[in-house]
Structure 1
């Protein structure tokens, strides 16, 4: 019942009020806003400094994070530099091994050529090859007993 009473009162009071002419909303005014900050606050460092002052994060946490990031960057650069240097040294060693292998092959070819020319040069010098090869086996050799304490 209370709801019906209110609606009646609301309706009755609205009908008793004089109707007013609606007024237009005032037109918004344009205003020039100038930047009151200094030049150092416009920089990145100034913004970070202002942020640390206005936030609950202390300046020490930001400093530790910056130092950690800088140390990580420097460590990564040093590691990359060392890897490039090691790669260059490995390439130099491989090149040096290749040169030495070529030198060994050249010397072996020269030695084979000299061994092949040896019989011809020996015959030019008047050397005669012996027909059969003679070998002496000294493993079963025993020294004669009279030669042990004897005179020479």
Structure 2
């Protein structure tokens, strides 16, 4: 079987289509303007609803399906808004709680520093009062201890 010859003529039909066109070039389609039969740009909501109802009748889609889809979209939108609002509220509460924790931590650190300074100044205050550090350890032997008769046990 012989391969078809390629032609370099601009009006030549693709290979295998010479018989369909009858040897003459294909006619170009004509263009024309399509006008909108409804000229109202600012249609009312009722008009839009009528268009949706008409569209569902033409498409064979049940009006119930369209209503369910719209209700689902509105519920999803409201759910998203409520979730986002709750997340912002939780974030605000968390920041406020963290601020309070930081403030209390700072108060504890301040009190600890004050306690450390008081403990370190304790020996000086004791010496000013006339106290002396203990030199030897004191032991008490209770082996020979006998309680008095009037003491409660």
* C-alpha contact (below 8 Å) 1:52/1:59 kept by paired residues: yes
2: CA distance between counterparts of 1:142 and 1:74? 85
RMSD over aligned CA atoms reads 3.3
Give the TM-score normalised by the residue count of structure 2.
Answer: 0.59
2:110 counterpart residue number: 106
* Residue number in structure 2 paired with 1:151: 149
User: Whose radius of gyration is greater, 1 or 2?
Assistant: 1
CA distance in 2, matches of 1:41, 1:121: 88
What is the Cα deviation at residue 117 of structure 1?
1.0
Aligned to 1:128, the other structure's residue is in SS state coil
**Distance change in 2, residues 1:47/1:125 (3 Å):** same
Q: 2: CA distance between counterparts of 1:69 and 1:83?
A: 21
Offset, 1:61: 0.9
In the alignment, is residue 118 of structure 1 matched against residue 116 of structure 2?
no
Deviation at 1:102, TM superposition (A): 0.7
Give 1:91's aligned residue.
Answer: 95
Provide structure 2 residue ranges, at least 5 long, that are not aligned to the other structure.
Answer: 1-35
Q: Which has the higher contact order (CA 8 A, sep 6+)?
A: 2
Q: Is the 8 A contact 1:40 1:46 kept in 2?
A: no
Instruction: Spell out, residue by residue over 1:113-133, the C-alpha distance to the aligned partner (whole angstroms, 9 max, x if none).
Output: 101111111111222222234
Cα offset, 1:106, TM superposition: 0.4
1:49 counterpart residue number: 53
Q: Is this contact kept in 2: 1:122–1:128, CA < 8 A? A: yes
Q: Which secondary structure does the structure 1 equivalent of 2:67 belong to? A: helix
Q: Distance in 2 between matches of 1:40 and 1:129?
A: 98
Q: How many residues align?
A: 114
Gaps of at least 5 residues in structure 1 are 1-32
Tell me the TM-score normalised to structure 1 length. Answer: 0.59
